[in-house]
Chains A and B, each alone.
Chain A
């Protein structure tokens, strides 16, 4: 089944390099995963606001996006932990027929109806399963496979020390469909290693970046205080670069470091890192918009490739 690319809000509006990188690594010269562009998607909607303020509105707006995917017959590929959790949770919640009919009452007003994706049945009764919502990491590690990523790497990032940040909503809350063990995640580390880099262990690796749940918007100093703790342990571990799998964590690491004197470790999205390893020109990765300069790792990369 084809992947509908769900970009969300932050990536197109703040980190377009992540969008470019994702298209680059998925194109037919590299991982060859066809992506379907769908115009009709709105905000997922953002869990820190809508899920926190009114769950019914959250569910209906999320269901609207799921209907779009259902009608286009795609599974959703999300590049953001927030979008992933919001849509995934909504698809699970809509398994409840009472909730589904409540949501459909409102969706009728916009000419939409959520049933889920039709699956082949015995021919007498139509059978449905929830619209599949997948995180980029899940698609890369499980659907594409680490082997194929390894084979597609043309510029191995040998010698790079990477601090992986998983982020909360990729891992938690753990449900029956959680991607991996929330206490011992390894898929992002595996992908980074497939790029030829080494990953470093650091304290509080699985802790929040500080931004989630509306805290960044509400009390920025508190969010930054949390990021400061993580940054200290990342620096102590001697990392060259932080790799996140979520643009909101990327934003938080990238902006909070401005308030931390003497700490500046570049932060990139996993798709940026893969694009570099697959030979993309760094000019296209949108690093100009990053607050913390990515140049140190680009210089290191250039030295290595020209040597």
Chain B
């Protein structure tokens, strides 16, 4: 265990802090940089580790995850070490505004999120919001008190309660299904049609995530 300590910080997030760590062959993924580029990140190899991104990053000040270190780990192909980190980014793009090499660390984080999801790291809230969008066409579920206030303010019903909105919800569901998004985040039809029922069965066989 020498060189590795586990630290806990705000929110109970744990991380392996790497000190004088020897990179083992099995941790090194030579394709990782290319994978990041595939999902829309820039070539992280051009980062010269100036640290501007870290100085302006609101979360680097609060956690042990430093933007610069994550980019360095990406350069080294240490995929397993960075896949827990991408959800700790506000995508505020301050790093991008201050990067002399135009790396856009926020977009690298987004590419890492793409990779993490495809590797099975799917945080609960992704599924929760996806379900809301499937059901209501909107990412936020309606609340009773708000609907009462809307009536008092004469603002009319929420979208989902309008008779013609079903068409919009169907279109949204169609697009999510056609893009394979449902399957990607493991949120499948609540009322499966024939084809979707097959997919749901496949899903059950694979094992439910969370």
Contact = CB atoms under 8 A, between A and B. Distances in A.
B138 A9 contact: yes
A185 interface: no
Nearest to B156: A37
Contacts, number: 197
A39 B164 contact: yes
Interface of B: 10-13, 39-40, 58-59, 62-63, 86-94, 96-97, 104, 106, 109-110, 113-114, 117, 123, 125-126, 128-130, 133, 137-143, 145-146, 149-150, 153, 155, 158-159, 162, 164-165, 167-172, 174-176, 178-179, 181, 184-185
B87 A218 contact: yes
Question: Which 3 pairs show the lowest CB-CB distances between chains A and B?
Answer: A217-B125, A213-B91, A172-B93
B181 A54 contact: yes
Interface in A267-307: 284, 286, 288-289
29 contacts: A12-B159, A16-B149, A16-B150, A16-B153, A19-B155, A42-B133, A49-B130, A53-B117, A53-B181, A53-B185, A54-B181, A54-B184, A57-B176, A106-B178, A107-B175, A110-B171, A110-B174, A183-B97, A207-B58, A207-B92, A212-B90, A217-B123, A217-B128, A218-B125, A219-B13, A220-B11, A222-B59, A226-B62, A286-B149
B184 A53 contact: yes
B168 A173 contact: no
A17 B155 CA distance: 9
A39 B88 contact: no
B113 A20 contact: no
Contact of A222 (B11, B141, B175): B11
A64 B109 CA distance: 26
